[in-house]
Amino acid sequence: MKIHQLSLFLENKPGQMAAPCRLLASSGINIRTLTMADTQRFGILRLIVSDWQQSKKMLEDAGYLVNVAEVVAVEVADRPGGLVDLLDLLGQANMNIEYMYAFTFGRGGRAALIFRFDRPDEAIEQLRAAGLNVLADVEVYERIEG
Amino acid sequence: MSWEAPGGAFHPASTPDYLPVAQMRELQLARLRNVVRRAFERVPLFRQRLDERGFRPEHLGELADVRKLPFTTKADLRDTYPTGLFASPNDEIVRLHASSGTTGKPIVVAYTRRDLDVWTEVMVRAFAACGLNHGDVVQNAYGYGLFTGGLGAHYGAEALGATVIPASGGNTDRQIMLLKDFGVTAICCTPSYFIYVLERAAELGVSIRDLPLRAGIFGAEPWTESMRRHIETLGAIQAFDIYGLSEIIGPGVGIECAFHDGLHIFEDHFYPEIVDPETGRALEEGEEGELVLTTLSKQAMPMIRYRTRDITSLKAETCACGRTVRRIARIGRRSDDMFIIRGINVFPSQIETALLAVEGTVPHYQIVLTREKGLDSIEVQVEVTPEVFGDTVGSMEGLQHRLAHALERTLGLRADVTLAAPRTIQRSEGKAKRVIDKRNLTEAPNENTPTLALPRK
């Protein structure tokens, strides 16, 4: 139940982030969430979009370097301590998180956390065993729309 | 030309490429005497230089006496711009070419009718060495114009009897269309441009390896074995290195045969020597140094002991292909391309070796030299390829560090590595411009800084 995240290599210069976002917007592709990992010299823009296959093709045709990573989206309660419970669980299970970011659905008191694990399948198993809701591509999208 | 075999096809064995060595030396000495006499009688600068040495053309008793003659340098061509080294009257000169002249005045070269015939002859012999003949379709993507590459390859391929497509440089999408639609079997261009053609063809969904194309005649810039492997693997063609320079004639001074073990020099027209680039002392066979060429049959513009700035070595033994003419090792570097940074000599080819060691292929790259507060820095900009792009900052910084480390180990100095987005470093349609020198080198040169030195091994 992994979801597909697109990563773009960007140079650290003004205007670099706007161009790919504009490209996606022009084709009616919705960015569900994004995060930017930046260094002094370059950045990696990570995107969860409504149609990752079409987006990848469009971005590549426009000359971008696109990497597809399988990440894990987990639903948690949007309340103080909601994240900590989850992190404790992962810590106890000795799951290494390469990076993570979060977003809320804006309603229903739920939030989603996006994780990049080095061993995603094992992580999903652990999360499921603990009774957590691991989301699929389509679920992430539907929950935003719905 | 007189090498038509009974079937009409060109037969390479009818050329001087296979002449017994003693006979070749005899021919060379006779031609050397002629050309030295011609230059002495017609080129004031050359006459003045011989007079200063008290040397007369008739003092040339044997071939080794060539070492007693003065060198000619690129500076001589610039200083006498445009016609100072011409040895034929205007009405015998039928063609002029010129270099791009990126650093000041261009250099101009002239040809008589017979010079053009010689040029065509050596290009026919060059194409034949690559296994081309009647029936081949040659796409000539060297630039037509003042640059010698275009017309040189054109007339040679046409005289060979091949079908010539004068595509000239640029317009890559059209080049790919021609390759595909015209059943092209051989292409002539710079190796870096062909790599770009391969890249672009892949984007257009054209598989070069599935086309009839089987040979590439690549020259006009130094290239490496790793580039050859890349081209041959991706394009499923045989890549031949061709050597030449406008000052001597243009392309066709030398060529690889199917054995790819050095480039055969058409030495019945171009006499090769290797000298120490610093002292000018003649080096022995097999020793690495600067290639010096004398045009043995040139009329309009004889070049006596021209300093090519290309670093190579000479090989005399007969090649596996049977050609007796001597070979030069592939030229990986020019003393021109070399830059000196913090007193260390650096060749772009060394940078390529370091990039190759880390990434397994040579990505598109550019070298930028800057000077701040009197301290020089070198930055190597490397395009990130899909093969090495990971989505974590750690993996990309790791790549950056591995590249920087490999560069430092190869060059002996610290280089800054910048990862660049794909297709952001400018592609050239002619010679690849690898080094951007932003240093303001207008101060008087430091007496202690060597201006030329042999590359470190």
Claim to verify: residue A60 and residue A91 sit in the same structural domain: no
Claim to verify: residue A93 and residue A40 sit in the same structural domain: no
CB contact under 8 A, A11 and B424: yes
Q: Is B368 at the interface with chain A, CB within 8 A?
A: no
Q: Is A129 at the interface with chain B, CB within 8 A?
A: no
CB contact under 8 A, A42 and B396: yes
Claim to verify: residue A83 and residue A121 sit in the same structural domain: yes
SS (H, E, C) B131-164: CCCCCCEEEECCCCCCCHHHHHHHHHHHHHCCEE
Claim to verify: residue A75 and residue A132 sit in the same structural domain: yes
Q: Is A103 at the interface with chain B, CB within 8 A?
A: no
Please, is B244 exposed, middle or buried when counting C-beta atoms within 10 Å of its C-beta (0-12, 13-18, 19+)? buried
Closest CA to B148 of B99, B94, B83: B99
Using CA atoms, how far apart are residues B355 and B13, in angstroms rounded to an integer?
A: 42
Looking at residue B391, its pLDDT comes to 85
In CATH terms, the superfamily for domain B1-336 is ANL, N-terminal domain (3.40.50.12780)
Q: Which of A13, A41, A69 is the last residue of a domain?
A: A69
Range of the domain at A30: 3-69
Partners of A45 on chain B (C-beta within 8 Å) are none
Claim to verify: residue A45 and residue A74 sit in the same structural domain: no
In angstroms, the Cα distances linking B316 to B25, B29, B326 are 12, 17, 5
Tell me, yes or no, if the pTM score tops 0.90.
no
Looking at residue B451, its pLDDT comes to 36
Looking at residue A115, its pLDDT comes to 93
User: B306 phi and psi, to 5 degrees?
Assistant: -75, 130
Both tokens of B109, joined, read: 């070269």
Claim to verify: residue A27 and residue A79 sit in the same structural domain: no
Beta bridge partners of B275: B282, B290
Looking at residue A146, its pLDDT comes to 43
Number of continuous H segments (helices) and E segments (strands) in chain B: 10, 20
Domain ranges of chain B: 1-336, 339-437
Compute the nearest-CA separation of A35 from chain B (Å).
12
Claim to verify: residue A43 and residue A76 sit in the same structural domain: no
Compute the nearest-CA separation of B135 from chain A (Å).
38
Claim to verify: residue A65 and residue A85 sit in the same structural domain: no
Helix axes B225-235, B348-359, angle to 10 degrees: 50
Question: For strand A110-117 and strand A66-77, is the pairing parallel, antiparallel, or unpaired?
Answer: antiparallel
Looking at residue B101, its pLDDT comes to 47
CB contact under 8 A, B423 and A63: yes
Claim to verify: residue A82 and residue A61 sit in the same structural domain: no
Q: Which of A69, A94, A122 is the last residue of a domain?
A: A69
Partners of A37 on chain B (C-beta within 8 Å) are 392-393
Ramachandran region, residue B23 (left: φ > 0; alpha: ψ -120 to 50; beta: rest): alpha
Q: What is the pLDDT of residues A17-55, one digit of tens each?
A: 899 999 999 999 989 889 998 888 899 999 999 899 999
Q: Which of A48, A69, A90 is the last residue of a domain?
A: A69
The pLDDT tens digits along chain B (457 residues) read 445 555 556 777 778 999 999 999 999 999 999 999 999 999 999 999 999 999 999 999 999 999 999 999 988 998 899 999 999 999 999 999 997 544 456 789 999 999 999 999 999 999 999 999 999 999 999 989 998 999 999 999 999 999 999 999 889 999 999 999 999 999 999 888 898 899 899 999 999 999 999 999 998 877 888 889 999 999 999 999 999 999 999 999 999 999 999 999 999 999 999 999 888 999 999 999 999 999 999 999 999 999 998 889 999 999 999 999 999 999 866 666 678 787 777 878 788 888 888 887 778 899 999 888 777 889 999 999 888 898 888 889 999 999 999 998 888 888 999 999 988 888 766 666 788 888 765 443 333 333 343 444 3
Give the total number of structural domains in chain A: 2
Say which CATH number the domain at A129 has. 3.30.2130.10
CB contact under 8 A, B389 and A37: no
Partners of B380 on chain A (C-beta within 8 Å) are none
Q: Is A65 at the interface with chain B, CB within 8 A?
A: yes
Q: What is the pLDDT of residues A74-111, one digit of tens each?
A: 988 888 887 888 889 889 888 889 899 988 876 677 88
Claim to verify: residue A96 and residue A33 sit in the same structural domain: no
Partners of A7 on chain B (C-beta within 8 Å) are 389, 391
Claim to verify: residue A29 and residue A77 sit in the same structural domain: no
Q: Considering the domain delimited by B339-437, tell me its CATH architecture.
A: 2-Layer Sandwich (3.30)
Partners of A64 on chain B (C-beta within 8 Å) are 421-422
Using CA atoms, how far apart are residues B416 and A9, in angstroms rounded to an integer?
A: 19
Q: Which helix (H) or strand (E) holds B195?
A: helix B191-204
Using CA atoms, how far apart are residues B297 and B301, in angstroms rounded to an integer?
A: 10
A4, A42, A97, best to mutate vs chain B, most B CBs in 10 Å = A42
What DSSP state is assigned to residue B71? Answer: P
Claim to verify: residue A48 and residue A80 sit in the same structural domain: no
Q: What is the C-alpha R_g of chain B? A: 23
